[in-house]
Structure 1
């Protein structure tokens, strides 16, 4: 996904591609005073031994995720981003979590200072983690700070990244359903450091459709009795979600919107299957059983087929620009208006897509008014 983001952004700002899928490039956001796509500089953390970004872009081009000509056309930008990638957290790394976080913080601060950047936004696009049990130290920043110095398992990796980002004064976006920033102690840290954050689990396909369709049933007083979905995934995301515990995190996130929109739980669940030959593509099939006037049973079915990286990449750019602008205007804590982008939005229970978009546009207008 990160390679698709960098490749796409470079092609857009070079005039080689239109900004299709970038919400922040539409007329509704023209007055929000967002940083331009040409102002973005890319870097990050990745696993040790990962292939160079240019090679991954070539693989994506062969898979049809990015245009076949794009890796060569933006090779310079890919090399520039690759030079700013540092080794992320490594399983079994020696030292305390505080020491690991300090290494990440130093990387972020160095990136900001060397590139003379006004601010750095950290977006977590790592693989989904299994659910992590909440502990007493997660409720209080002081207790968490002590636990980081004394224990090697006080936080999951996603929350160590979140802690490091907030400590470095960077807005933070949880693009995955991992625990990340969703801990009271980290909310306290964000407010203390004066930085905003948002998440979690960006909705790019099946859940996007759910949050558009479910309000229709509620508004027309049609009783939804069951809603089941089957997701077939290839690629790295599919391989990760083949782990039942990681899959559990994703299912919890995907199913939450229906309960909030309809006001009650419905029968059925989400199934996720890894199909390796599908590569970077995914298919979702949903079956909705609903009841109409007189108790008549009816059904709706839909199939969604798409490339997850291509669906997600413009959202990363949107979220980075919006979070940067929010930070510039002095906002801190959860950015609830960004719920439009997420399956399980932090700090707000509104899941109806159209209303989420209205809230986002109203907030963007206020951002512009602060110029």
Structure 2
């Protein structure tokens, strides 16, 4: 087998600034976990970049190195945290308010957490009506808001001695939106910024500012952001990678685990009813119908992507797929995702599966933030631009790099992620069945 060429990747020298628009439950949990990991308090459980092995070659001694030892990722000790938030004064207060982590887990890192102060946010309550921003930039024009974010990034980079920056959106889900003419090109978007176009959301301003600042941008919410023609154009023109959208955490994670199994056994699916209860800031935002619609579209698409009803109409061509999210304050961040799955088998006989996932939303999302930050930084150093489809593994509604829809099967996504790393490091890719 012919040897492959190692990708020329700039070394991960210096500090990496990881900026999160939104410093609520997810971001503060991510920050606390990374600090705990680099101080040896807790292992980074759930992080593929830190915990997973990757199968290489045929020699026994090379079969299973850790990904972080095989791939030139930034070291956890080199990460500097920052971001923007319209509510929280610092990461420690954000963590206390979110209630995800217990006091015993925060006490030993409280000084560092208190020192992480978010910058004032670009925020518009029309897009998240259930939240009221109190730490918001007093800048009415959207072009000027973008300029302020660009200045924020430059100042953060200089003041913290960062060699590179990366942004992972950890803010709230914005109200549902369809693309409009302002999103067609970079030129039309920039004119829309100057004209204060109502179709430009805060997340889009963050993304534009990041790409103009040579900062990779990953979209952790179902917002219409990285999947806009203007952002794809700008990312390619400026040579900056993007990825989206929506962290794949609780209930959708279970769907991407179970649905491939049904398909592998050629078992039919007649219906899939999903409901969630949660009481964190995300649940409060999603209690608004327009914000929920953004999340609903993201959640509903995953089954069609995996089961391919157009290919298997007898098995999956008539699925009633229902998704509900209910705001229930007593539950806090400890979300409950309940699924009723109606399947059928030989001779069409029906069966049912019930799943009750008592998950911790931010605990599942935090390692995704870390991996996306490190892999997006890697992609940038490797000279990548445009959509990073190989990171679909982490996302509910993965964005395609071309005309063919992105793969939705979790296990095929995993193989694509590892094969990308293998190829960049000069190794041969493996098939899905060989991935091990």
TM beyond 0.5 = yes
- Counterpart residue number, 1:71: 106
> Does the CA contact (< 8 Å) of 2:90 and 2:116 recur in 1?
no
1:95 and 2:137 correspond:
no
Rounded to whole Å, the distance in 2 between the matches of 1:122 and 1:187 is 16
Change over 3 Å in CA distance of 1:52–1:115 after alignment to 2: closer
> Does the CA contact (< 8 Å) of 2:88 and 2:94 recur in 1?
no
Instruction: Please point out which of 30, 34, 39 is paired with 1:5.
Output: 30
Q: Deviations over 1:259-315 (max 9, x none)?
A: 111112511310111111111110011111111111111111111111111111111
TM-score, normalising length: structure 2: 0.80
Greater shift in the superposed pair: 133-142 or 5-14: 133-142
- Counterpart residue number, 2:15: none
- Counterpart residue number, 1:359: 416
1:187 and 2:237 correspond:
no
1:325 and 2:363 correspond:
no
> Does the CA contact (< 8 Å) of 1:3 and 1:53 recur in 2?
yes
1:360 Cα deviation from its structure 2 partner: 0.5
1:223 Cα deviation from its structure 2 partner: 1.3
Map 1:308-323 to 2 at 5 A.
Answer: 308-323=361-376
Change over 3 Å in CA distance of 1:369–1:42 after alignment to 2: farther
Rounded to whole Å, the distance in 2 between the matches of 1:274 and 1:318 is 29
1:94 Cα deviation from its structure 2 partner: 4.0
> Does the CA contact (< 8 Å) of 2:240 and 2:385 recur in 1?
yes
Instruction: Please point out which of 184, 204, 218 is paired with 1:159.
Output: 204
Rounded to whole Å, the distance in 2 between the matches of 1:311 and 1:345 is 18
1:19 Cα deviation from its structure 2 partner: 1.1
Instruction: Please point out which of 339, 354, 357 is paired with 1:301.
Output: 354
Rounded to whole Å, the distance in 2 between the matches of 1:3 and 1:163 is 24
- Counterpart residue number, 2:133: none
> Does the CA contact (< 8 Å) of 1:130 and 1:246 recur in 2?
yes
TM-score, normalising length: structure 1: 0.94
Rounded to whole Å, the distance in 1 between the matches of 2:256 and 2:91 is 34
1:67 Cα deviation from its structure 2 partner: 4.4
- Counterpart residue number, 2:265: 220
Q: Deviations over 1:74-100 (max 9, x none)?
A: 123213322xx2101133854321111
Rounded to whole Å, the distance in 2 between the matches of 1:90 and 1:271 is 27
Greater shift in the superposed pair: 115-124 or 101-110: 115-124
In the alignment, structure 2 segments of 5+ residues that lack a partner are 1-25, 55-66, 126-137, 310-316, 428-436
Rounded to whole Å, the distance in 1 between the matches of 2:139 and 2:101 is 38
- Counterpart residue number, 1:27: 53
> Does the CA contact (< 8 Å) of 1:123 and 1:173 recur in 2?
yes
What SS does structure 2 have at the residue aligned with 1:318? helix
- Counterpart residue number, 1:345: 398
1:366 Cα deviation from its structure 2 partner: 3.0
Rounded to whole Å, the distance in 2 between the matches of 1:244 and 1:154 is 18
> Does the CA contact (< 8 Å) of 1:171 and 1:196 recur in 2?
yes
In the alignment, structure 1 segments of 5+ residues that lack a partner are none
Greater shift in the superposed pair: 143-152 or 357-366: 143-152
> Does the CA contact (< 8 Å) of 1:214 and 1:261 recur in 2?
yes
> Does the CA contact (< 8 Å) of 2:389 and 2:406 recur in 1?
no
1:36 and 2:75 correspond:
yes
The number of equivalent residue pairs is: 364
Q: Deviations over 1:11-31 (max 9, x none)?
A: 110001111111111222231
Instruction: Please point out which of 268, 292, 299 is paired with 2:321.
Output: 268
What SS does structure 1 have at the residue aligned with 2:384? coil
> Does the CA contact (< 8 Å) of 2:123 and 2:202 recur in 1?
no
> Does the CA contact (< 8 Å) of 1:132 and 1:156 recur in 2?
no
Rounded to whole Å, the distance in 2 between the matches of 1:142 and 1:59 is 41
What SS does structure 2 have at the residue aligned with 1:232? strand
Rounded to whole Å, the distance in 2 between the matches of 1:66 and 1:305 is 16
The structure carrying a bigger helix percent of its residues is 1
